[in-house]
Structures are given as structure tokens and as C-alpha cells.
Amino acid sequence: MLRDPSLVPLSRQHQHALALCVRIQRALRTGSVDLALWQSEIQQHFSDEIRFHFAAEEQVLFPVAQRFAELAPLADELTSDHERLRVYFANSEQGRMDHHELEAFATALSVHIRKEERQLFEGLQRRLRPEELTALGTELHRALEDAAQACRLKPSASS
């Protein structure tokens, strides 16, 4: 199914995260893994994009999915996935990942993204009317923009 324009910003971010996962998995296969470098990149990706992405999904997308009996358990599962993934991100920030955890992270993030794309996004597109999808897209855009703006407007230490 073609992705509805309302979900394209999240899908684009999914592509960025999947690319990170693929690069990690390739590095692990070749045995050329600088754990400190990967953990830094994971943390940067979380700070720049994923934390905003998770917030938009949790505040806007998952509540819409909860309205449908067929999607509510999936929304709950995806919320739990976010919590597990946040542990990986925290471990990367603290430099506590080993090779096994790095591999588990890449697998968990990849599986999570594919679940959102193939099950949640497809399910919402089948159930929501076009005007509801448009309104959802507007809310998602606002949530992503508000989060990014809040990050840019952090007060300085001298304030």
C-alpha cells in the first residue's frame, strides 16, 4: 500500500533509523566495530530525531490507533517497544553497550520500525477517512515541529 502523505514524515525518519541499523549490522558482520563511535552515533540520532519521533507517535499516533479495537493492542506493544528502546539509548549515552547489546539494539529497532510501517501505518490508512488522515498529518507535523522548536529554544546558562 502506498504511504499516505500524512505519515510520510514519520516514514522518512524510519528510513534514517533503518539505515543506521543496516550500517551497524554490516559493521558487526565484518568485525570492524568501534563501540564508542557507534554509541556516540546512536545517541546523536536519538537526540536529533528519535526522541521527537517517539513523542509524536506517543502523543498523536498511538492515541488514534487506540480508538480501534484491532489496533489498540499493537499501539500498546509499540509503546512498550519505545520503553525498551529508550533503555538501549540510555546505555549508549552512558557508554555501556557491548557488541551483543549493539546487535540486539539494531535488531530491536529494525523490528519495531517494520511493525509500525507494516501493521500500524497500514492499519490506520485502511481505517481512517481521507480527512482524518489529513488532520492526523497536521497534528503529527505540529508535534514534530513543536518538539524541535522546544529543543532550539533551551535557555542559556547565563539566563
Report domain extents, the chain.
Answer: 5-145
Report DSSP letters for 83-111, one per residue.
HHHHHHHHHHHTT---HHHHHHHHHHHHH
Do residues 15 and 7 touch, judged by C-beta distance below 8 A?
A: no
DSSP state of 71: T
> What's the pLDDT tens digit per position in 36-81?
999 999 999 999 999 999 999 999 999 999 999 999 999 999 999 9
> What's the pLDDT tens digit per position in 93-128?
999 999 999 999 999 999 999 999 999 999 999 999
CATH of 5-145, one of 3.30.870.10, 3.20.10.10, 1.20.120.520, 1.10.579.10: 1.20.120.520
- Cα of 111 vs its chain's centroid, Å: 11
